[in-house]
Structure 1
């Protein structure tokens, strides 16, 4: 009953907001951060993902990002990314509103074809000049550290590190979409990293029908009207946006 209602709500909603996390890119070969095989099990985020770490040793940080960038460039959008493109096309096609907010920095949503997209934590394939703030795509290949094509100053990864502010306007756009949503869909995120983790709660408080897709329970699970205990690909298939397959275990 819960799954059928979720499908119906998605088909009829006038405002749909989607949040994705690292779990949606795992089938593309990009590791997550917090699960048993996640990056933070092997690497300390304080050594690679803070302004202080970069100030102490920018060469070390850039070497780590160059390694990650190489993996991202080998990755392709998977069926879950494509499912959200289909969902967006369907929603926009009936004149409704749609916004996809991602915590991921891999650029795979845009590569898949998502249009109404907010990259809340930046994009690992870009750099940002430390002096003039100019953002630019990194060449392929590139030698770290890159330098700004406008002023020649050293550039840093264009991602949001722990302790930094989100890109200007990104949070406001995301918060508004989730506050006004009829249906909110949260896919592949641990719901532990703020402020993104609060978007599901904002939608629930605003009266949205809340759907969660994640293999493990999260802090958002108790609020979800439907919680699908599956990976992103299988969960979105079950919701009707991919090839048919076995239905997941659901709660809610």
Structure 2
């Protein structure tokens, strides 16, 4: 049986769910001006992952890697959350989630490194927190940035991790013209740790490295009865396995994406279109 495209049927399943996990990918941020990684003109159409996104690549050519991630940092700093980010942020506020799924808990797992998911949640929590009694804090659901954040830096010597929104991160990167790989920057002019002086690297999870919070995420996936796959083609492990695990133990899986991907025919629901339009409309009847 092909996946359903019926909004009312999906909302009925959503209403009865008790544990919802949303797994999001690059398609969520497309409307914010962040290019997806595998589309025409995306990162992996331009670069070999082994050249920029492994520990070995950084050790061999930190200048090239930093120039590439400098360009990504600049895009992230200039971007703002779009309606899809904000729709998910509403689900992260328990009192708002209860209006469409009264018995559910919600977890957001993002593969994106742009930080927009967390920004949307924090902004939404501040907005709704204004209406709460003095001394109360607006509770939010768990948000796992499993691949780290491009605005984070990680010291290769002392291991200190820091969120750094400086633009540019260092003077030499400002001269790199947002990722001009022909510019060779000396190591001493690349970003260094303010605590120990060690060379900094981008605070993201590279190929060959373990995603953050893996054990916690798997525990949540193991108990979820509804998985929302949003803006992801489900090609990158381990996130690609999450939906199959939910389905294997009897949960439902709903896909929101610009186009159908391999495996979508096995899902319970399929909603095709730009995430920034489709997700708010299906969840809340807006957008």
Q: Matched residue of 2:112: which SS?
A: coil
TM-score by length of 2: 0.79
- Find the aligned partners of 2:276 and 2:46 in 1 and give their Cα distance: 26
* 2:7 pairs with 1:3: yes
Q: C-alpha offsets along residues 207-234 of structure 1, whole Å, 9 cap, x if unaligned? A: 1111001122223302210011212122
Structure with more contact order per residue of length (Cα contacts < 8 Å, sep ≥ 6): 2
User: Aligned-pair RMSD on alpha carbons?
Assistant: 1.7
Q: Matched residue of 1:31: which SS?
A: coil
- Find the aligned partners of 2:285 and 2:214 in 1 and give their Cα distance: 29
Contact 2:77 2:165 in 1 (8 A): no
2:252 to 192, 209, 216: 209
CA drift of 1:140 comes to 1.1
* 2:60 pairs with 1:34: no
Per the alignment, residue 13 of structure 1 pairs with 17
Per the alignment, residue 149 of structure 1 pairs with 194
CA separation of 1:138 and 1:242: change in aligned 2, threshold 3 A: farther
Answer with 1 or 2: which has the greater Rg.
2
CA drift of 1:238 comes to 3.2
Per the alignment, residue 52 of structure 2 pairs with 48
Per the alignment, residue 203 of structure 2 pairs with 158
Per the alignment, residue 133 of structure 1 pairs with 159
Structure 2 unaligned residues grouped into runs of 5+: 123-139, 174-189
| Aligned residue pair count | 242
Q: C-alpha offsets along residues 157-205 of structure 1, whole Å, 9 cap, x if unaligned? A: 11111111122xx111211212211211010001101111111111111
CA drift of 1:95 comes to 5.7
Per the alignment, residue 282 of structure 2 pairs with 239
CA drift of 1:235 comes to 2.1
- Find the aligned partners of 1:187 and 1:34 in 2 and give their Cα distance: 15
Contact 2:227 2:253 in 1 (8 A): yes
CA separation of 1:225 and 1:140: change in aligned 2, threshold 3 A: same
CA drift of 1:87 comes to 2.1
Contact 1:20 1:187 in 2 (8 A): yes
- Find the aligned partners of 2:9 and 2:223 in 1 and give their Cα distance: 20
